[in-house]
Amino acid sequence: MARLDGKVALVTGGTSGIGEATVHRLVADGAQVVFTGSNEAAAKRVSDATGALFQRSAVEDPAAWEALSAFVRDRCGRLDIAFANAGTEAGDGSVESIGIEGWNRIIAVNLTGVMLTCQAAVRLMRETAGGEGSIVVNSSMNAYKPMGNFVGYSTTKGALIALAKSVAIHCANQGTKIRCNSIHPGVVETDMIKNIIAKQADPGAARAAYAGMAPLNRMGQVEEIAALVAFLASDETRFITGADYSIDGGSTAGMMGV
Amino acid sequence: MRRLEGRVALVTGGLRGIGEAVTQRLIAEGAAVMVADLDETEGGRLGAHAAYVRLDVGDEAQWRAAVAAVEQRFGRLDILVANAGIGGTGPIREVTLEAWHQTLRVNLDGVFLATKHCAGLMARSGRDHRGGASIINIASIMGLVGLPQAGPYNASKGGVRLLTKANALEFAADKLPIRVNSVHPGFVETPLLLSSSPREALDFYHAGTPMGRLAQPSEIAAVVAFLASDDASFMTGSELVVDGGWTAQ
C-alpha cells in the first residue's frame, strides 16, 4: 500500500509481539523503521526480515534517549512516527502482594518510558519534520478494565490515556501538527501468551479461556494491532488526536449476557 | 488503496457532506455502493459504481424495500454506513415534542432500523471476509459530551453510541460475522454546517478545536474505510473519535 513512503518511524519494544508485527507492517507500508529492545538475537531476526535498524536501548533511561535520538537524526534524518510500545508486567501483583521494586520497575518502563518516548518524539518531530508527526501509545484494555492481580500494569496503562491526551493537547496548543493517540488492545496472541498456554496442563482449555475473554471469542493477532498503528501513523488521520481507540474484539463494549 | 474490491456498501445520507465523501472513498477502494438519501433521484451525480435508492431512514417499510433493492441489484451487503442525520437544538424548555421526536426518529430510529433490516444479508456476506461484514454508525462527539441547547441531538447521538455497543456484543454472542463500531466526528466542514452556522458559531468551532480547524469530510471517510476493511478485523464495539482533540481537552 506504501502510504508511509518517505516517513521514518521509531518503534520501542520492537523485538517481539505487537512491536515486532508493527515493525513489519510499517516497513511494508513504505516507512524506514528504527526499533529498540534488549533481546539482540530477536532483534537480528527482525532486522534481517525487514531491513529495519535496531538500537539496543532502555525506554526508562533518560540518557539512552539522547543517544537514540542522535542515532535517528544521523541515520534517518527525520522522525515522523513513534510507536511507544515497550511495556512490562514483570514483578506485578495485587495491591497486597506487590513489592516496591516491582512497582517502581513497572512505573519506570510503562509510564516514565512512554513519557520519555513522547518527549523525544516531539522534540525530533519539531526539529526534523517541520513539527508534524504521529505518536501512538500502546496502552491496553486494562486501562478501562483493571486486573486485581496486576495493579502496576493496570495503573500504568490507565495513566497512559491521560498522558497521550496531555501530549496531544500540548502539541495542538503549540500550533504543531504532531498528533498523539492511545490504542487499547484486548488479549493478543503474542509469543508470550502462546508460551503461557503451552505450559499449562491443559493447553486447549487455557487457549479457550484466553479466547473467551473477548466477545469475538478469539485472541487478537499481532498483525491486527499493527494495522491500527499503521492507520494512525498515516496522513489519513491528520485530524485524529487525543483519542483512545479500543481494539479488543468487544471486550470493553459492555457485558455479555447469559 | 483498494481494500474493498468486490464488496457492496449501503450509505445512508450518501448524497452530501460526510455521506458523499464516504461514498466516494468506498468506491475508490473498490466497493460498489448503494446510496440512500431523501432526494427523488441522485441527479446524475453518481457514477457506474453506485446505485441509488430513495429512503427515509425512519420509515420501516422503506427500509424493507431498500434492503430488497440492494439484494436485487448487488446480491450481497458487506458494509453499512448509517450516516443520515439531522440537527436537534434549542432550549430544552422550548423544544417541542414534535421536534424531539423528529431528531430521535432520524438519528436513532434510523440506525436501529438500518441494523435490524441489514443484518440478515450482512451475516451471509460477512462470511466471505476475514474481518466479517462491518456496520459503521456515524455518531458525533455530541454522543460523548453534552452541549447546552443540544439536548435532542445529544440524546440521539449518545443513543447511537450505546446501540452500537449492544449490537456489537449481540452479534458476537450470536456468532454472526458482523462488526459494529461508531465514529464520532467533531466539527466537519460540510455544506450543511457552513450554511446553517452563524459566524460566531463557526468561530467557536475553530477556536474550540485544539487543532484549530474543522475536519474535512474526507477525513471522516478515511476512518469509515478503515473500519470497513479487514484492517479493523479485531475491532467491534469501539468508538472512534475524530475531533482534532476537542474531547481530549
- Short-list A26, A24, A28, CA closest to A16: A24
Mean confidence (pLDDT) of chain A:
96
By CB atoms closer than 10 A (0-12, 13-18, 19+), residue B78 is buried
Measure in Å the smallest separation between the Cα of A18 and chain B Cα atoms: 14
Which residues does chain B have within 8 Å of residue A168's beta carbon, measured at their own beta carbons? 210, 245, 248
Identity of residue B95:
V
Q: What is the pLDDT of residues A20-57, one digit of tens each?
A: 999 999 999 999 999 999 999 999 999 999 999 999 99
Nearest CA in chain A to B141: A243
Identify whether the C-beta of residue A99 lies closer than 8 Å to the C-beta of residue A93: yes
**Closest Cβ–Cβ partner in B166, B211, B247 for A254:** B166
Q: Which of residues 206-245 of A touch B (CB under 8 A)?
A: 214-217, 220-221, 224-225, 227-228, 230-231, 236-245
What chain A residue is nearest to B248 in terms of C-alpha separation?
A: A242
Q: Report A:161-180 residues touching B (Cβ under 8 A).
A: 165, 168-169, 172-173, 175, 177
Instruction: Count Cβ atoms within 10 A of the Cβ of residue A252 and give its class: 0-12 exposed, 13-18 middle, 19 or more buried.
Output: buried
State how far residue A213 is from chain B, nearest Cα, in angstroms: 12
* Chain segment A186-223, per-residue pLDDT in tens: 999 998 899 889 999 999 999 999 999 999 999 999 99
Residue A146 confidence (pLDDT) above 60: yes
**Which chain B positions have a beta carbon within 8 Å of A165's beta carbon?**
248-249
Mean pLDDT on B88-111: 97
Query: How much is the pTM?
Result: 0.97
Question: How many Cβ pairs closer than 8 A exist between chain A and B?
Answer: 128
Name the band, by pLDDT with cuts 50, 70 and 90, for residue A2.
low
* Nearest residue in A to B3, CA atom: A1
**Are the Cβ atoms of A243 and B210 closer than 8 angstroms?**
no
Q: Which of A172, A248, A253 sits opposite B245 (nearest CB)?
A: A172
Contact A254 B169 (CB under 8 A): yes
pLDDT at A1 over 70: no
DSSP conformation letters of chain A: --TTTT-EEEESSTTSHHHHHHHHHHHHTT-EEEEEES-HHHHHHHHHHH-PEEEE--TT-HHHHHHHHHHHHHHHS---EEEE-----TT---TTT--HHHHHHHIIIIIIHHHHHHHHHHHHHHHHSTTEEEEEEE--GGGTS--TT-HHHHHHHHHHHHHHHHHHHHHHHTT-EEEEEEEEE-SB--HHHHHHHHTSSSHHHHHHHHHTTSTTSSPBPHHHHHHHHHHHHSGGGTT--S-EEEESTTTTS-----
Selecting from B173, B236, B249 the residue whose C-beta is nearest the C-beta of A256 gives B173
Query: Which amino acid is it at B166?
Result: A
What residues of B act catalytically?
A: 153
CA distance B36 to B14: 6
* Contact present, A235 and B224 (Cβ < 8 Å): no
Cell numbers at residue A209, please?
479461556
